[in-house]
Amino acid sequence: MSHFAEIDQDNIVVRVIVAEQDFINSGAVGDPRQWIQTSYNTQGGQHLLGGTALRKNYAGPGYVYDYERDAFIPPRPYDSWILDEETCLWTAPVTRPNDDKFYIWNESDQQWVESEIVQPVALE
C-alpha cells in the first residue's frame, strides 16, 4: 500500500489516502491524474528511515504540489518566511536561537520571542 494525495485544479492537496496504484488507476476515486504518490517517511527531502525520499515532503491537506520541483510544499506559516529550495520547507528570515528555551515567531516584529511553556493541567 502507498499514500496518494488528491490535488485540485490549483494543485492544492485536498486529501491523502492509503491505496494501491491499481485502485487509483481504476478511477474509483476520480481522475487518476489528480492523485500523486507521497511518502509518509519523507520530510525536508530526506527519507526518515534511510530510503529514497519522494517529493520532498509527505503531503497533507492544504499543501501545494509543485510540478516543476516535483515536491509537496506545506502552507506558508507567515508572510515573511522563505522557501528553502533544498527541503521545500519554509524558514524564518531570522534564525531561531539555539538554546534550551522555547520560542515563538512574532511576525509583526520579525523576530523570535521567548515564551513560557504552559504545562497541561491534569483533569481529575
The reported pLDDT for the residue numbered 118 is 74
> Which three cell numbers mark 41?
517517511
User: Does the pLDDT value for residue 62 go beyond 90?
Assistant: yes
Residues 23 and 42 reside in one and the same domain: yes
What average pLDDT does range 29-41 have in this prediction? 97
Please give the residue range of the domain that contains residue 42: 1-75
CA–CA separation, 32 vs 100, rounded Å?
A: 47
Residues 11 and 61 reside in one and the same domain: yes
Residue from 45, 102, 107 nearest 94 by CA: 107
Answer with the residue of higher pLDDT: 122 or 14: 14
29: number of Cβ within 10 Å: 15
Are 85 and 68 in contact by the 8 Å Cβ rule? The answer is no
The reported pLDDT for the residue numbered 70 is 98
Q: How many domains does the chain have?
A: 2
User: Does the pLDDT value for residue 54 go beyond 90?
Assistant: yes
The reported pLDDT for the residue numbered 88 is 98
Q: Give 66-108 pLDDT, tens digit per residue.
A: 999 999 999 999 999 999 999 999 999 999 999 989 999 999 9
